[in-house]
Amino acid sequence: MLRVISEERFELAESPRWSPSRHALMFVDLLAGRVHEHDWGGAETSRTRVHEFAQPVGVIAETPTGLIAGVGSTLVSIKEGHSSEELIDLGHGDRLRTNDGACDPQGRLVFGLMAHDATPGAGLLVRLEWCDNRWTTRPLLQHTTISNGLAWSPDGTTMYHVDSATREIRAYSYGETIGDRETLARIDAGGGEPDGICVDARGHICVALWDGGEVRRYDTDGELCGRIPVPARRPTAVCLGGHDLRTLFITSATYGLADPTSDDGALFAVRVDTAGLSPVQWIEPTTRGV
């Protein structure tokens, strides 16, 4: 049974990540510039710790010593004790900001950049890399608009990506570069827009549907194989976590709603049959051996 697990309602909760070491759900309230760590012991509500920034926070990932976060057009590391340090200025000034992303199977951060006003084609998908003793980014996809959901197949050879403006979940072969695009599934007009995604141990893709009020599950052939109604009109993203990785967490938003209901902007959890993949941490080059 789907249930609400937060007392607070969030403007634009996004980028949920399960932390086995913290036994917590981490996520951002994007436009508010907040990173939340929501302790999860299965109770109806749990304690939340907050890291606050003066700019939007689009993406987060756990590291062995804390978190990495996309703050505006920079990436920062957040150490235990809430201290933060800038890793790289991405060089886009006020034109672009970070959006959703995830760590690939090798522990490298892949994330989207988008215009603040969602100018069509102004964004891109990049991978953070260590080259010549400095951080740099490698473009993987150009001319995106709202780069959102990102996940990999269980064997790591396929990357799934959502550019919400296209209404499609797309698949690419994945390695040092990415292969040709294949449309896995397309959301029909009236069904909402695809947003955040995750992949379970069977390789099925779960997607939150903004303005669709539900989460859908697709198999690797793009066939619809499951639906979970969500009482929030704007579900934003999903991840699998909990002690056995069989709790599906769903974030949602009140952003843009003139008359939000009591469920809009809440966090939700529901038990599912198939476990998720083990979460991947961001691995610094010294640890990775690069």
Which residues in the chain show pLDDT less than 70? Answer: 42-48, 81-82, 286-290
Range of the domain at 124: 3-288
What is the pTM for the complete model shown? Answer: 0.94
For residue 137, the domain's CATH number is 2.120.10.30
Domain count, the chain: 1
pLDDT tens sequence across 29-38: 999 999 998 8
pLDDT, position 45: 47
pLDDT, position 81: 61
Q: Which two tokens stand for residue 236?
A: 């934003």
